[in-house]
A and B are shown apart, each in its own frame.
Chain A
Amino acid sequence: MNAARARLVALKTGVWLACLVPLGWSIWRFARGEASVDPVEEWLHRSGKTAVIILVISLAVTPVRRLTGWNGAQKFRRLLGLFAFFYAVLHVAVYLYFEQGLAWSFILEDVTERPFIVSGTVAFLLLVPLALSSTRGSIRRLGRSWARLHKLVYLAMAAVLLHYVWGQKADIRDPLIVAGIVVLLLGVRLYYWGRKRAARAAAAEG
């Protein structure tokens, strides 16, 4: 194994472990009896916030690559995206099992009637095809449409932000910070997209 490959493996292992910290922290706190008086709320919030943070980091990969020219970042995007989905699954599972006790009539009422839950459900459902199509085989099979399909992540992100804002009682600082970062990341992408278009137009004229 050459040095570059060894470094990549080490970095990936590091990202893996970092992504598992929030889950490990929850388990550790609960096992030691240190979890909040309301462990269900603690788990819901931690899994939800972790999913959002990792999703935003995965969205930052391309802008970071553009700005720094470091192509290595690209190698972590799938890993991050799948971990974001993993925490989203935990979030949904905690909601279904602990918050609602698998009472499907209440769950159905929530996911159809309450904008706060509807937006969360939409966000989750949009992430499902992205996670399922992240295997090497899917990427190869889907070809160009893979990239188009994965643009759904922006729609998912918008739904996540709505869910995040609507979930707050009065203090919406956290979701606003996240929204600000997402807008910034989108801005970087739009800037490079605009430049590319201009360059293409110039080339066509020339």
Chain B
Amino acid sequence: MHFHKKKPWDFIRSSEITSETHYLNRREFMGASMAFAAGAVMRPDSAAGASLRPGVQDPEVGAVTYGESLRGDMNSYEQVTTYNNFYEFGTRKEDPAAFSGDFQPEPWTVEVTGEVHKPGTYSVEDLAPPAEVEDRIYRLRCVEAWSMVIPWRGIGLREIISKVEPTANAKYVAFETAVRPDEMPGVSRPVLDWPYREGLRIDEAANELTFMATGLYGRDHLPNQNGAPLRLIVPWKYGFKSIKSIVRISFVEEQPYTTWKASAPNEYGFFANVNPNVDHPRWSQARERLFPFGRRDTDMFNGYTEMVAHMYRGMDLSRWY
């Protein structure tokens, strides 16, 4: 039996979108349902069904839902899938949804290389077995100063890391996005240095929050525009760290090349931790915009301080931005 253990990422609450009455009702409702069905598996279609949004399907897999407290603030499926950055399909926010129709996320393999005991070519199912996936609701904060609350489905990156067994030399993890000119119309232009590359320090990669998404909104597959079939989610960092459509994961000794840092080092650092006190050269990061209208103050580490701050102790975050 699964107990809905209070997970550390549950502490984030943002009642500012939901009305306060609705918010209090939800808490009451959740309290009651917890007392009644203590230990029940929290599925998107069961206990919290009252706040379900259109577009959520009954999941095939019995996945545990975390992040209940953000549920009422979720952005709609339409918002999540029609407004995003994925320059391989074009530079406008509408481009990924409009121009990713030819992209083939199946079959798919991920090459795991470098300082690991079990390098090789893995399928998505090898890395994220359907029976092991779970749902997590995270806030995604874009470096462009907007944010959304998104229910992801996937597996903790730490599970994947323990599967491939990095050696003691692995200090960083590097990721690479697919480059398929025939299926990705954006890569024919040198807007960025393709392939898109991102990376994390090994402790960041192994953090409990770091997630590999294979689906969203209660669905088992990611839409192409959201990074099918496999993408990273690092919720305390700006969205560009969450690399999409991953084809290679390398465990390396040196800090890896990362695309945005190479493109504009004064604007996008390697760490890219959400930090309201360090502005982007073109805008303040103190607040963020919500869709369609509204603003909220940005939280340090996007609200995940308790779980991540220890990794940066002693670092000057205005220098290591």
Q: Which residues of A contact B (CB under 8 A)?
A: 35-41, 98-99, 101, 103, 106, 109-110, 114-117, 166-167, 169-171
Contact = CB atoms under 8 A, between A and B. Distances in A.
Interface of B: 78-79, 82-83, 87, 91, 93-94, 144, 146, 189, 191-192, 263-264, 281-284, 286-287, 289, 291-293, 295
Q: Considering residues A114, A117, A167, which has the most beta carbons from chain B within 10 angstroms of its beta carbon?
A: A114
Contacts of A110: 283-284
Given A40-B289, A106-B287, A114 B78 contact: no
A37 B295 contact: no
B292 A37 contact: yes
Nearest to A114: B282
Q: Considering residues B281, B284, B287, B293, which has the most beta carbons from chain A within 10 angstroms of its beta carbon?
A: B284
Given A98-B293, A101-B295, A170-B191, A37 B82 contact: yes
A109 B285 CA distance: 12
B91 A170 contact: yes
A35 B263 CA distance: 31
Contacts of B79: 37
Contacts, number: 57
Contacts of B283: 110, 114, 116
A99 B283 CA distance: 11
Nearest to B280: A114
A175 B263 CA distance: 18
A27 to B, nearest CB: 15
B133 to A, nearest CB: 26
22 contacts: A36-B83, A37-B79, A37-B93, A38-B83, A38-B146, A38-B291, A39-B293, A41-B93, A101-B295, A114-B281, A115-B281, A115-B282, A116-B281, A116-B283, A117-B282, A166-B282, A167-B282, A169-B91, A169-B144, A169-B264, A170-B87, A170-B91
Contacts of A98: 293
List the 10 closest A-B pairs by CB distance, nearest first: A37-B83, A171-B91, A116-B282, A37-B79, A171-B191, A170-B191, A39-B292, A37-B291, A114-B282, A101-B295
Contacts of A171: 87, 91, 189, 191
Contacts of A39: 292-293
Contact of B93 (A38, A101, A103, A106): A38
